[in-house]
Amino acid sequence: MSIRIRKIGRIGQITLQRPEALNAVSHEMVLAIEAALYGWREDERVACVLIDAEGHKAFSAGGDLQFMHETASKGDFEPGRTFWRDEYRLNAKIANYPKPYIALCQGFTMGGGVGVSLHGSHRVVGESSKIAMPECAVGLIPDVGGSLLLARAPGRLGEYLGITGYRMNASDAIFAGFADYFIPEADWPGLTETLIETGDWSAVTALARDPEDGPLMALRQQVDAHFGGATLTEIVGSLPADDWGSATAKTIRSASPLSAACTIELVRRARASGDIRVALQQEYRFTSRSASQGDFVEGIRAAIIDKDRNPQWRHKDIEAVTAAEVEEMLAEPPGGDIAI
């Protein structure tokens, strides 16, 4: 298995070990992490949990989408649905874990990688951190509880980050509420050793520093002015014709129109509920239909399988997506909402 799970000293340590695949989170890894967390809840020898990853490029660039594409492209949608149900259950457990849950997130932290790290209580970023929810570009939506993280961002940054897939640096991530602490990555090995020896999470706060300002803070006023529109079409139509507005509109229009339109609605539903379980249930409504009724299979084909970067979405442009189609994708599934 591409993961190491162990009790060492005073901590439970989870280390992702698929650097050649940018530590993509597989179904097997999800189940192993869940089992470990269950076992450590009442274990007095485990004072806190630390999740980290091997390799410099990524903590985890996402879930194992290639596996789900292999089955979904053959018309078998259940393996993907099973993966998402189990993954979302883990995300909720992490968000409500009774012990400190410390995540060290270097490099790319996206999609499924966000789900196993950034719902924790102590989220650490460093110089190389690049955090994003880029799912609209592959025919999905920001899931693994990402809609709630986006909803908690200041102003309308949630809508902006969700439909553009903007890559946040350490400062951006802290400003947007996706991370808590900036610690220089050279200090991470020493921090790990201290945690193993003491189990004292205050070692994290002791090493935290102020990062250099990122660009997201400066964008806040523009984002708030344009991303509060009632619909995706209204948002894009309001963007200015300057360099930022043109580039932003181009990025949004390159994504799956259906995914982007549903993302706006999901972020707003999550903002209204403020509940991780509700957010995950709403996300599953979309992801469970993403292969059979959405753009998931085509999005993964274009980005990961054939890599032609030329997806043929079900809708030619964002204006073609109707409110009824958004409601259909986000309606309660025939069997009822999943239990989280």
* 172 a catalytic residue: no
Residue 231 lies in a domain: no
Contacts (Cβ under 8 Å, ≥6 apart) of 168: 129, 130, 131, 132, 161, 176, 178, 214, 216
In the numeric block, which tokens belong to residue 60? 């985890």
E-only strand ranges, the chain: 3-8, 11-16, 48-53, 58-60, 101-105, 108-110, 122-125, 130-132, 181-182
Count of alpha carbons within 13 Å of 227, Cβ hemisphere only? 31
Candidates 12, 52, 62, 63; catalytic one: 63
pLDDT one-digit tens code per residue, 190-232: 999 999 999 999 999 999 999 999 999 999 999 999 999 999 9
pLDDT at 141: 98
Residue 156 lies in a domain: no
Candidates 12, 62, 112, 165; catalytic one: 112
Q: Which pTM does this prediction carry?
A: 0.97
pLDDT one-digit tens code per residue, 13-26: 999 999 999 999 99
pLDDT one-digit tens code per residue, 258-304: 999 999 999 999 999 999 999 999 999 999 999 999 999 999 999 99
Residue 234 lies in a domain: no
Residue 274 lies in a domain: no
Give the separation between CA 219 and CA 157, rounded to whole angstroms: 9
* 143 a catalytic residue: yes
Candidates 64, 87, 143, 265; catalytic one: 143
* 42 a catalytic residue: no
DSSP letters, 39-107, are HHTT-TT--EEEEEESSSSEEE--B-HHHHHHHHTTT--HHHHHHHHHHHHHHHHHHT-SS-EEEEE-B
* 308 a catalytic residue: no
Phi first, then psi: give them for residue 252, nearest 5 degrees.
Answer: -65, -40
Candidates 64, 87, 135, 159; catalytic one: 135
* Domain ranges, residue 32: 3-132+170-207
Residues forming beta bridges with residue 60, ordered by sequence position: 109
Residue 87 sits in a domain whose CATH number is: 3.90.226.10
Nearest residue to 245 (alpha-carbon basis) of 263, 230, 227: 227
Residue 104 lies in a domain: yes
- Give the other-Cβ count within 10 Å of 141's Cβ: 32
Encode burial over 189-198: b for 16+ CB neighbours within 10 A, e otherwise.
Answer: eebbebbeee
52 touches 104 (CB < 8 A): yes
Residue 195 lies in a domain: yes
Residue 91 lies in a domain: yes
pLDDT one-digit tens code per residue, 86-139: 999 999 999 999 999 999 999 999 999 999 999 999 999 999 999 999 999 999
Residue 146 lies in a domain: no
Question: How many structural domains does the chain have?
Answer: 1
